Amino acid sequence: MSAVKVFVPCDSAALAAGANEVAAALLNECARRGLAIDLVRNGSRGLFWLEPLVEVGTALGRVAYGPVTPEDVVSLLDAGLLDGGEHALRHGITEQIPFLALQERLTFRRMGITDPLSLADYEAHDGWQGLKRAVGMGSADLLHEVTHSGLRGRGGAAFPAGIKWKTVAGLQAAQKYVVCNADEGDSGTYSDRMTLEGDPFMLIEGMAIAAMTVGATEGYIYIRSEYPHAVATMTRAIALATEAGFLGDRVLGSEHIFHLHVRKAAGSYVCGEETAMLESLEGKRGIVRAKPPLPAIEGLFGLPTVINNVITFASVPVILARGAQFYRDYGMGRSHGTLPFQLAGNVKQGGLVEKAFGLTLRELLYGFGGGTRSGRPIKAVQVGGPLGAYVPESQWDVPLDYEAYAAIGAVLGHGGIVVHDDTADMAGLARYAMEFCAIESCGKCTPCRIGSTRGVEVIDRIAGGANREQQVILLRDLCETMVGGSLCAMGSMTPLPVLSALDHYPEDFGLTAADHQAA
Amino acid sequence: MPEPLDTLIQQHRNEAGGLMPLLHAVQAAYGFVAPEMVEPIAKGFNLSRAEVHGVISYYHHFRTTPPGRTVVQVCRAEACKACGSDGLMAEVEQRLGIKAHETRADGAVSLEPVYCLGLCAQSPAMQVNDRLFARVTPERLPAVLSAVEVAA
């Protein structure tokens, strides 16, 4: 009889919850009992409230146990862990856990199932299907496929990927680049991190397809320094993929050349803005560039460059493998396909939910999230990262779709959803948004660089209570200047959390409803 | 012994946009980028000292003074705030006897704020040297900080 397969994730969120200690305890205890196990370090399924989530391969499928501590190992083995035995921590067949079963995982379909650095695993789970099809297609057909899929930039700006790629493909240049923005600085987001750590070959495949489409031969993945595990996994994955011929001088034996490199960022939030990222990749301070010229035309080192977020590239293999129409049929309106929503903050069941566009925040918060972790009522939900609006309960039934969110003055951004309970101080969070902008502003635009500091002061004066109405008018005026006078989202979107907090929670600023009307 | 600075400069000077990888290599080898390193780096990359200093000082990650033997980072971003990281930071400051951005006089520990470790579904989160910790409750904090005591 072969050894039982036991899965303990190596994703950094699992490690932070003690996965390595659990793996060691399992190996020790099994050795002591003379039990043979084949320990696989998989990626995370994204059910973070259950991490470390231990899975056991049984005839019925993989059975899940979690959250497991090293102290639980003895009782788990006593309960027959290796046969999928009953235990207080047992959640049944992993795929049947409602949080997972109710999702539409297209991009994340392999997540947590495979060993992230096993080429054999990747291949056995539909890996390289997209690239294999792409290699036989011309640039025009590839562009048509990506455009027709309706894929829009998943970093937050939601610009159609096919149109961006077409611009680069149509230019003549000695060198073109493909750059992946993996500077995932938004609080409440971790889908890029999960991809880099949990399914790195998928990103490589997507970038290789992009390179083939536009005629680029060099690529960079710009990963934040706060993600050392992601840097290590991605670096290793590139080496393995190059050795196996999926990257290099002859991609899949074809004439296509594609060399891929990892570059480490250095803790600047604004470098998640594409032009600041280019400056950083060139070895300079990450100061935002004025557009035009568009990076597609004059990008990295002044040459044509495709820049997309991790999830945008990662969505491409399935589009090529299953066809544009398959992907396009998911979603609503002009938001085609799926988005990996990331439930974070004060939520009972925090984790990654990949669903087609069009579900509501309420379904995510209660259907998937199960309400707050503290057990108190949800007060505010920040959607789309630190530059996203605070969405009050009256708007939780608006479908999650780029246009529907724009219509209520909010953004989907990178899909981060941060939940706050009724103890949250919205004036404090508005102040924090301004403070964060002051810390992270690159300094190029005055309204962002100085306005953010003035914003902190004005909010303090509002909280202090003197001339409150005038100070509120001043804050609105300042926000208008920041929106209109900043080159990038840092300055122009910081007012979004500030004003949404003020508009929806005026009482937290010491304003009565009557004051608020007047202001 | 860390790699001599000149060797590191030679390794990266011909790399496209090689200054950032060099600074990472220097910080990995020495723990920080010392002010006296600016001049040889500038010379090696054919840049002005102001340009090199500008890059080092722009990025939060690069240090110009030696860090404590243990570096403690507490996430300050929204998802962690939603689960009590403001209180956690205050508690950490009190236990370590230093404020954020400071290194203790005995050189044992530095405390830094960090804006997102990507553990937003299991907040509040901390990092101690290279080790990540999720769901850091007041009860778990002493165990998380035990590495500091060892280094002290």
Place of tokens 């804050």: A475
Instruction: Spell out the domain ranges in chain A.
Output: 4-102, 119-329, 331-421, 426-518
Instruction: Spell out the domain ranges in chain B.
Output: 5-58, 70-147
> From A46, which residue of chain B is nearest by alpha-carbon distance?
B121
Q: Is B104 on the interface with A (CB under 8 A)?
A: no
> Mean of the per-residue pLDDT values for chain B?
95
> From B63, which residue of chain A is nearest by alpha-carbon distance?
A266
Q: Do A226 and B116 touch (CB under 8 A)?
A: yes
pLDDT at B138: 86
How far A27 CA lies from chain B's nearest CA (Å)? 21
Q: What is the band of A45 on the pLDDT scale with cuts at 50, 70, 90?
A: very high
Q: What is the band of B16 on the pLDDT scale with cuts at 50, 70, 90?
A: very high
Residue A464 three-state SS: helix
| CATH class for the region spanning A119-329 | alpha beta
How far A126 CA lies from chain B's nearest CA (Å)? 28
pLDDT reading at A514 higher than 90 = no
The answer to whether A192 and A343 have CB atoms below 8 angstroms apart is no
Q: Do B122 and A51 touch (CB under 8 A)?
A: yes
pLDDT reading at A494 higher than 60 = yes
Q: Could you tell me the pTM of the whole model? A: 0.97
Pick the CATH number of A331-421 from 3.40.50.1370, 3.30.50.10, 3.30.470.20, 3.10.20.600: 3.10.20.600
pLDDT at A466: 86
Q: Do A16 and B125 touch (CB under 8 A)?
A: yes
Mutate which of B116, B128, B132 to disrupt the A interface (most A C-beta within 10 Å)?
Answer: B116
Give A335-361 pLDDT, tens digit per residue: 999 999 999 999 999 999 999 999 999
Q: Do B115 and A373 touch (CB under 8 A)?
A: no
The answer to whether A141 and A76 have CB atoms below 8 angstroms apart is no
Q: Is the dihedral of CA A48, A49, A51, A53 positive or negative?
A: negative
Q: Which of A16, A14, A7 is nearest to A42 (CA)?
A: A7
pLDDT reading at A116 higher than 70 = yes
Q: Give me A308's structure tokens.
A: 């997309």
Report the alpha-carbon distance of residue A488 to residue A499 in Å, rounded. Answer: 18
Q: Do A345 and B82 touch (CB under 8 A)?
A: yes
pLDDT reading at A405 higher than 60 = yes
Q: What is the band of A129 on the pLDDT scale with cuts at 50, 70, 90?
A: very high
B120 is in an annotated binding site: yes
Question: What is the mean pLDDT of the segment spanning A499-512?
Answer: 95
Contacts made by residues A241-244, CB under 8 angstroms, sequence distance 24+: A241/A119, A241/A201, A241/A204, A244/A119
Q: Do A424 and B82 touch (CB under 8 A)?
A: yes
pLDDT at A517: 57
Assigned superfamily of B70-147:
Glutaredoxin (3.40.30.10)
B80 is in an annotated binding site: yes
B75 is in an annotated binding site: yes
pLDDT reading at A13 higher than 80 = yes
Give B65-85 pLDDT, tens digit per residue: 999 999 999 999 999 999 999
Report the alpha-carbon distance of residue A127 to residue A110 in Å, rounded. Answer: 9
Report the alpha-carbon distance of residue B112 to residue B141 in Å, rounded. Answer: 16
Question: What is the mean pLDDT of the segment spanning A159-170?
Answer: 98
Q: Do A190 and B120 touch (CB under 8 A)?
A: yes
Q: What is the band of A26 on the pLDDT scale with cuts at 50, 70, 90?
A: very high
Distance from first CA to last CA of chain B, Å, rounded?
Answer: 22
Give A268-314 pLDDT, tens digit per residue: 999 999 999 999 999 999 999 999 999 999 999 999 999 999 999 99
pLDDT at B150: 61
Q: What is the band of B147 on the pLDDT scale with cuts at 50, 70, 90?
A: confident
Q: Topology of A426-518 in CATH? A: de novo design (two linked rop proteins) (1.20.1440)
Q: Do A187 and B59 touch (CB under 8 A)?
A: no
Q: Is B28 on the interface with A (CB under 8 A)?
A: no
Mutate which of A418, A494, A500 to disrupt the B interface (most B C-beta within 10 Å)?
Answer: A418
Question: What is the mean pLDDT of the segment spanning A380-384?
Answer: 98
Strand order, beta sheet including B109-114 = B109-114, B70-75, B126-128, B131-133
Report the alpha-carbon distance of residue B23 to residue A264 in Å, rounded. Answer: 10
pLDDT reading at B63 higher than 60 = yes
How far A50 CA lies from chain B's nearest CA (Å)? 10
Find the CB nearest A266 among B51, B61, B120. Answer: B61
> Mean of the per-residue pLDDT values for chain A?
97
Q: Is B14 on the interface with A (CB under 8 A)?
A: no
Domain A4-102 sits in CATH 3.40.30.10: yes
Q: Do B120 and A345 touch (CB under 8 A)?
A: yes
B83 is in an annotated binding site: no
Contacts of A418 in chain B (CB under 8 A): 78-79, 82, 120
How many Cβ contacts (< 8 angstroms) between chains A and B?
146
Question: What is the mean pLDDT of the segment spanning A316-327?
Answer: 98
pLDDT at A516: 59
